[in-house]
Amino acid sequence: MDFTPTEEQRAASELAAEIFGDLSTPERLAGLGTATDAELWKALCAAGLPGAVEETGLLGLALLLEEQGRTTAQVPFAASCVYGLLAIGAHGNAEQRARLLPGLRAGESVATGAFPARLGRVRTETGAGSGNGSGAGSRNGSGAAALAEAPTGGTARLTGSVPVVPWLREATHVLVPDASRTLWLVRTDDAGVRREPVETTAPWSAARLTLDGASGERLGGPDAYAGTLAAARTAFAALQAGVCAGSLARAVSHTTTREQFGRPLSTNQGVLLRAADAYMDTEAIRVTTYEAAWRYDARLPCAEHALTAAWWASEAGKRVVHTGQHLHGGIGADVDHPVHRHFLWGRQLDAHLGSGSQLLEELGDLMASGANDASGVSGASSASEASGASGASGASGASGASGASGGQA
């Protein structure tokens, strides 16, 4: 296992840090409000950073998302790369890749995903005249068997709703898993697709997705859902690592320059201990994320590792952003202060990834079942359709996080 960035990954990360640092400043973010930063997204795409993910892999994307998280930049980088470039690159057929990937690389198209799936939330209609609210709209009988065996690129009608989908207001395509966890790519401007804006804790341009007989294009085989979910959990954990690092950096800067009783706040033991715990939590998020991303790129089983990274990002990330705000004292509660933005992003990522107890329950079930879930599929640079790989691998996480239940690192 080697997390040392390649020359290409390092160059992309440095370029991303420069662009995010120059354009995603506190002053510009304050002016944006809750809107997406169109100028920044254009700059990132002009620099070729979304497209670079196809070469640098999920680990390369994790490095880029850390830089985004440090500045809480309001662009759909994680969603479009994971649910668009990586998912289509890994699971799309040759025609889908040729048709869809150029627009995603250039930023002309934006993808997002209605993940994770909730059983029965979206159903696939199996025949003409289905969708009447009875069994006709569900996947059953010979119709379900036909859909299950349908090739990538086949179409079907989808009905159902998803309460919150991040960046849906900006998306041209949304990747939707149905009740059987088959993936369908839906154009957001098609008939039967409705988007209703939803305000979330962080400004993610989210919306409620409602499908009423909308046309969906199948993406991938039986392993596609598990592989995409593992990649998404890893990517959003990387974003949380950056959010935490940015929050901690601001706290360190504040406590070393702010004086109380003639000496810097950072000389107080209580402050030092809180900062040290936050640093260890941030590193735990980072190392478990890197491990999951590395295994994904190496086409090794990574479902448990992605869950471990998500658990650390949810539980430890929540602690870190609370610490960052607390160490700023009263000004940390000012909604106009930059550290408050990190707090909001940290809590939004905590909610998006799922609570620690939910993630631990899923991780425990996965480890106990020993089932193959095909989530070791690598999609960053694969030009062929991914086939199944074993998804359970015993004890997970470089730092032993999978057995934790809420303690500090």
| Per-residue pLDDT tens digits for 14-24 | 999 999 999 99
Least confident among 72-81, 83-92, 239-248, 386-395: 386-395
d(C-alpha 113, C-alpha 67), whole Å: 22
Maximum distance among all alpha carbons in the chain?
78
Q: Across all residues in the chain, what is the average pLDDT?
A: 85
> For the residues 354-374, what does the mean pLDDT come to?
82
Q: Is the dihedral of CA 364, 367, 368, 370 positive or negative?
A: positive
The confidence score (pLDDT) of residue 135 equals 38
Q: Say whether pLDDT at 377 is over 90.
A: no
Q: Say whether pLDDT at 265 is over 90.
A: no
Which tens digit of pLDDT belongs to each residue from 118-162? 767 899 985 443 333 333 344 433 344 445 555 666 899 999 999
Structure tokens at 17: 């840090």
The confidence score (pLDDT) of residue 323 equals 93
The confidence score (pLDDT) of residue 189 equals 96
Task: Please tell me which residue, 33 or 60, carries the higher pLDDT value.
Answer: 60
The answer to whether the beta carbons of residues 57 and 299 sit under 8 Å apart is no
Task: Indicate the SS3 state at residue 134.
Answer: coil
Per-residue pLDDT band for 235 (boundaries 50, 70, 90) equals very high
Q: Say whether pLDDT at 399 is over 70.
A: no
Q: Using a pLDDT cut of 90, give the percent of the chain over it.
A: 68
Q: Of the segments 105-119, 266-280, 318-332, which one has the largest average pLDDT value? A: 105-119
d(C-alpha 58, C-alpha 328), whole Å: 34
The confidence score (pLDDT) of residue 294 equals 96
For 174-205, b/e burial (b = at least 16 CB within 10 A) is bbbbbbbebbbbbbbeeebbebeebebbbbbb
d(C-alpha 48, C-alpha 37), whole Å: 17
The confidence score (pLDDT) of residue 392 equals 32
> For the residues 52-57, what does the mean pLDDT come to?
96
Which tens digit of pLDDT belongs to each residue from 164-223? 999 999 999 999 999 999 999 999 999 999 999 999 999 999 999 999 999 999 999 989
> For the residues 262-280, what does the mean pLDDT come to?
83
Least confident among 27-31, 135-139, 348-352: 135-139
Task: Indicate the SS3 state at residue 173.
Answer: strand
Q: Say whether pLDDT at 248 is over 50.
A: yes
Structure tokens at 364: 């425990």
Backbone angles phi, psi at 188, to 5 degrees: -75, -15
Query: In 10 A of CB 370, how many CB atoms?
Result: 11
> For the residues 252-280, what does the mean pLDDT come to?
81
Which tens digit of pLDDT belongs to each residue from 310-328? 999 999 999 999 999 888 7
> For the residues 400-408, what does the mean pLDDT come to?
37
d(C-alpha 318, C-alpha 357), whole Å: 14
Structure tokens at 164: 């919150």
Task: Indicate the SS3 state at residue 375.
Answer: coil
Query: In 10 A of CB 51, how many CB atoms?
Result: 17
